[in-house]
Amino acid sequence: MNSPEAPLMFSQLPQPLRYAQALLEHFSRLAGLTDSRRLCQGLVESASQLTGCELSQLYLLDDTHTQLTLAAEWHENNWQIREQAGLPSDYHREQLLQYCLCQNQILAIDTLDSSLHDTAFLPDSATPWRTLLCLPLLSEARHVLGVLLTASTQSLRLGNFADSLGLLGNFTVSQLGLLQRVDTVPAPATAEPAPDRPCPSGYGLIGNSPAMRTLYQLLGKVLHNPVNVLLTGETGTGKELVARAIHDYGFRRTRPFVVQNCASLPENLLESEMFGYRKGAFSGADRDHTGLLDAADTGTLFLDEIGDMPLSLQAKLLRVLQEGEVRPLGSTDTHKVDVRIIAATHRDLKLLVEAGTFREDLYYRLAHFPIELPPLQERGQDILQLARHFAEQACVFLQRPLCRWSQAAESQLLGYPFPGNVRELKGVVERAILLCDGNELLPEHFSLEDAADTSRNLRERLEQVERNLLIESLRRNQGNQTSAATELGLPRRTLLYRMQRLNICAADIRSREKADARQ
Quickly list DSSP for 349-405: HHHHHHHTSS-HHHHHHHTTEEEEPPPGGGSTTHHHHHHHHHHHHHHHHHT-PPPEE
Alpha helices in 367-455 (DSSP H): 382-398, 407-415, 421-435
User: What gap in Å lies between CA 14 and CA 70, rounded to an integer?
Assistant: 31
Q: pLDDT at residue 148 above 70? A: yes
Query: Is pLDDT above 60 for 449?
Result: no
pLDDT at 387 over 90: yes
Q: Please report the pLDDT score of residue 432 as a whole number.
A: 92
Beta bridge partners of 259: 302
Is the confidence at residue 182, as pLDDT, over 80?
no
Calculate the CA dihedral of residues 444, 449, 451, 456 and round it to 10 degrees: 110
Task: Tell me the average pLDDT across 391-419.
Answer: 90
Burial 163-194 (b: 16+ CB within 10 A, else e): bbbbebbbbbbebbeebeeeeeeeeeeeeeee
What does each C-alpha distance from 179 to 35, 69, 186 come to in angstroms?
8, 18, 10
Inform me whether the pLDDT recorded for 473 exceeds 70. yes
- Residue 456 — pLDDT band, cuts 50, 70, 90? very low
- How many Å apart are CA 455 and CA 390, to the nearest integer? 24
For the chain, the first-to-last Cα distance in angstroms comes to 105
Would you place residue 88 in the very low, low, confident or very high pLDDT band (cuts 50, 70, 90)?
A: low
Q: What is the pLDDT of residue 19?
A: 86
517 has pLDDT over 60: no
**Which has more confidence, 427 or 91?**
427
Mean pLDDT value across residues 357-376: 92
Tell me the pLDDT tens digit for each residue of 255-287: 899 999 998 888 888 989 999 999 888 888 888
* Per-chain mean pLDDT for the chain: 82
Quick check: 7 pLDDT over 60? no
Distance (Å, whole) CA 152 – CA 57: 12
SS3 142: coil
Burial grade of 481 (CB within 10 A; 0-12, 13-18, 19 or more): middle
Residue 89 pLDDT > 60: no
Q: What is the pLDDT of residue 91?
A: 47
148 contacts 135 by C-beta, under 8 angstroms: yes
Which stretch of 214-223, 286-295, 488-497 has the lowest confidence by average pLDDT? 488-497
Give the per-residue pLDDT at 280: 86
Start-end ranges of CATH 3.40.50.300 in the chain? 210-374
**DSSP result, 146-185:** EEEEEEESS---GGGGHHHHHHHHHHHHHHHHHHHHTT-S
Say whether 301 sits in a helix, a strand or coil: strand
Are 334 and 295 in contact, with CB atoms under 8 Å apart? no
User: Which letter does DSSP use for residue 460 in this model?
Assistant: H
CA proximity to 247, closest of 172, 200, 301, 207: 301
pLDDT for 281: 84
CATH 3.30.450.40 range(s) for the chain read 6-189
Please report which confidence band the pLDDT of residue 339 belongs to, taking 50, 70 and 90 as the band edges: very high
- Specify the DSSP element, H or E, that contains 240: helix 239-248
Query: Mean pLDDT, to the nearest integer, of 47-59?
Result: 91
- Give the pLDDT confidence score for residue 139 in this predicted structure: 81
For position 92, what pLDDT does the model report? 47
Instruction: Tell me which CATH code domain 210-374 carries.
Output: 3.40.50.300
**pLDDT (average), residues 419-432:** 92
For residue 490, pLDDT beyond 60: yes
HSE-up (13 A, CA, CB side) for residue 360? 4
H or E element in which residue 25 lies: helix 16-31
- Count how many residues are written for the chain: 519
Mean pLDDT along residues 313-325: 91
Residue 348 pLDDT > 50, yes or no? Answer: yes
Provide the pLDDT for residue 194: 34
Instruction: Report pLDDT digits (tens) over 13-29.
Output: 778 888 888 888 889 88
At residue 198, the pLDDT reads: 35
CB contact at 8 A, 506 and 475: no
pLDDT tens across 186-241, in order?
444 333 333 333 334 457 899 888 899 899 989 888 888 888 999 999 999 999 99
**For a pLDDT cut of 70, what percent of the chain falls above it?**
84
Give Dmax (Cα) for the chain: 107
> For 350-363, how does the pLDDT look when each residue is reduced to its tens digit (9 = 90+)?
999 998 999 999 99
| Residue 478 pLDDT class (50, 70, 90 cuts) | confident
May I ask the CATH architecture of the domain 6-189? 2-Layer Sandwich (3.30)
**Sequence-distant (≥ 6) Cβ neighbours of residue 467 within 8 angstroms:** 502, 504
Indicate the SS3 state at residue 486: helix
